[in-house]
Amino acid sequence: MLEPRSTRSRTSSAADTAAVASSSKDSNLITDLHASPKKRSRIDAQPKLLSKGPRGKHAQAQAQARASDPELPPLLPPHLVSAYTTVAHPTLPFSLSTAIAHLRQTDARFDKLFALVPLRPFLELERSEVRELDLFKTLCTSILGQQISFLAARSVLYKFCRLFLMPEQPDYEAFPREKWPFPTPHEVLEASDDTLRGAGLSGQKVKYIRDVARRFADGRLDARKLIAIEEEEVVKELVQIKGVGLWTAEMLLMFALRRPNVLPVGDLGIQRGMLLFYLASAPKADEDGELMLAGVSVSERKQAPEKVAKRRQGEARCQDTSGPIPAASGLTPATLRARKDGKKVKGAYLTPEEMRALAQPWEPYRSIASFFMYALIDDAPSK
């Protein structure tokens, strides 16, 4: 049935959407403790800066950066870096009302989804509720949440922020994540590896976080540029970061930059949501005029499943209740049901080509439709 149970929005943080590994590439920004003697002698020969003032810290970070990779550009002064990490008062890059009208006209099943699931990530930009978009924070938060649960990711994020300026004991209700102060790229670069590991970061994540910080601190990453360029160029820029793969880049495009036409073809959640969507019948009204979808009313969503099952016993329809499936996909209702029940293709519910064909009617607003696919799987057992 096409019935989302949870209406919580998917935010720009990848930790809120899923915890998926993006990359396992090694980092060259941290000095390898097991470097060759020749490399160690070159690193050890770097002058040690004893000043603890802001300028001394900046110079020390410069020296460490040169030691790690002399080919890297020099660090920008700390007071200039915020212009590279953060965009003030971001705006939605498309018309949400036009997107809603297009999807409703394309498929009547979207009517019910629009009624039940708030489009918070997109509405808050349209309503000018977001004061700033901090892409350094967004990328770091996504990396910190990789391969761990939501609760574990929240704990690691809190400990990471606490390293710089936070109470030792968390109070998630009185002090929500949106209000946590976040370190600057320079502060991350100045922290030792041991300090960062104290927040629960693995050695790999320390390297990844440092790489993100270094790229913003020397100007190779610029939020103003990422907002202005095309999706393919954004992905090309982001996947150069250690620890950031295609999926993470697509999540940033959807939930941070709010690009309208992103389809993460490797996302199992969206794949399963598409199966449920296309196996649901188009909406119709029952004898009391209540909105129905796949034979289940809106009010039944609030009832105990066993009561609904008992009342609906014997009402199974012989005819196929699925809605229209794009012919270009080459898929049938029987194939979709088999995939839903676990008959995957190379570990996926749908191939990239099948997903693109199923999502073709949604263009150029596949991001909005994909957002709904996430909502659908909250009511479905994972396979």
Which residues partner with 284 through β-bridges? 292
**What is d(CA 219, CA 222) in angstroms, rounded to the nearest whole number?**
6
Structure tokens at 146: 């990789």
**Contact between residue 184 and residue 78 where contact means Cβ atoms under 8 Å apart:** yes
Map residue 348 onto helix, strand or coil.
strand
Which residues partner with 296 through β-bridges? 293
**What is d(CA 224, CA 83) in angstroms, rounded to the nearest whole number?**
8
**What is d(CA 323, CA 112) in angstroms, rounded to the nearest whole number?**
14
**What is d(CA 147, CA 245) in angstroms, rounded to the nearest whole number?**
13
- 307 falls in which pLDDT band (50, 70, 90)? low
Sign of CA dihedral 184, 180, 368, 381: positive
What pLDDT, on the 0 to 100 scale, is given for residue 283? 59
Per-residue pLDDT, averaged over 79-88, amounts to 96
What pLDDT, on the 0 to 100 scale, is given for residue 284? 52
pLDDT in tens, 142-158: 999 998 998 999 899 98
**What is d(CA 132, CA 128) in angstroms, rounded to the nearest whole number?**
10
**Contact between residue 76 and residue 218 where contact means Cβ atoms under 8 Å apart:** yes
Structure tokens at 86: 């953060």
- 322 falls in which pLDDT band (50, 70, 90)? low
Q: For residue 297, which phi and psi values (nearest 5 degrees)?
A: -85, 165
Which residues partner with 133 through β-bridges? 87
CATH no. for 23-31+49-90+130-244: 1.10.340.30
pLDDT in tens, 264-278: 999 999 999 999 999
Residue 93 has pLDDT above 60, yes or no: yes
Residue 251 has pLDDT above 80, yes or no: yes
pTM: 0.72
Which residues partner with 132 through β-bridges? 88
Task: Return the axis-axis angle of helices 268-279 and 333-340, rounded to nearest 10°.
Answer: 140
**Contact between residue 351 and residue 359 where contact means Cβ atoms under 8 Å apart:** no
Residues across the chain: 383
DSSP 8-state secondary structure symbol assigned to residue 143: H
Q: Which residue has the tokens 């499936």?
A: 325
- 8 falls in which pLDDT band (50, 70, 90)? very low
Residue extents of the structural domains in the chain: 23-31+49-90+130-244, 93-129+261-312+321-383
Structure tokens at 144: 């910190």
Residue 301 CB coordination number (10 Å): 16
Residue 13 has pLDDT above 90, yes or no: no
What pLDDT, on the 0 to 100 scale, is given for residue 71? 85
The distance from CA 282 to its chain's CA centroid, rounded to whole angstroms, is 30
Residue 15 has pLDDT above 50, yes or no: no
pLDDT in tens, 189-218: 999 999 999 999 999 999 999 999 999 999
